[in-house]
Amino acid sequence: MKKIVVLISGSGTNLQRIIDCIESGEIANAKISMVLADRNCYGVERAEHANIPNQLIKRGKSFSEHLEKIIPENTDLIVLAGFLSILSSDFTEKFKGKIINIHPALLPKFGGFGMWGMNVHNAVLEAKEEESGASVHFVTSGIDEGEIILQGKVPVDENDTPETLAAKVHAIEYEIFPKAINKILNG
């Protein structure tokens, strides 16, 4: 059984999708051993409902060191599912090749510092892009810079608002994130 640790900061709909896909077998031979949150958020309740051990870790200077102590060395995959804290380079080095993130745009476009949540969708609309999407990528010390594992595209329509675009991107995230996780864990 592969062990996944999921890190969250928000509503946790991607976390829910991972929970459901493990149950349905779409993600095979895996379990979420722990959910860690960097703030109070609804995702923690989802973990509770699914009986997954969970913990809130206060943000601050030694946040990454704290995470390092809590996450067991034998963890197979650390999944950032709407996680807003920046991890230290010591942390990303320690778990190199074992940390993945989902970003709500087609990287390398619309990534980097400040590019999160609605900022991303606003920027995509302002740039009059014809398509957007989501990217699953490995996490390195550079923000949104690690190797891309899987992307899914959605069309941007003339009358899209940041909210309608966000909804389309979320839908494609639910498709590609479990696929990417299963591929990494089971080949």
Report in angstroms how near the CB of residue 73 gets to ligand GRF at its nearest: 26
| Catalytic residue positions, numbered | 103
Contact, 79 vs 100, CB < 8 A? yes
Nearer to ligand GRF, 17 or 74 (CB): 17
Contact, 157 vs 128, CB < 8 A? no
Nearer to ligand GRF, 17 or 72 (CB): 17
Report in angstroms how near the CB of residue 8 gets to ligand GRF at its nearest: 6
Dihedral angle of Cα 28, 31, 32, 34, to the nearest 10 degrees = -160
Contact, 152 vs 179, CB < 8 A? no
Q: Which residues pair with 100 in a beta bridge?
A: 79, 138
Which residue matches tokens 């609804």?
42
Residues that bind ligand GRF (CB under 6 A): 10-14, 43, 81-82, 102-104, 134, 170, 173
Instruction: Measure the N-to-C terminal CA separation of the chain; round to a whole number of Å.
Output: 14
Report in angstroms how near the CB of residue 146 gets to ligand GRF at its nearest: 14
Q: What is the DSSP secondary structure assignment for residue 156, as one 8-state letter?
A: P
Nearer to ligand GRF, 143 or 185 (CB): 143
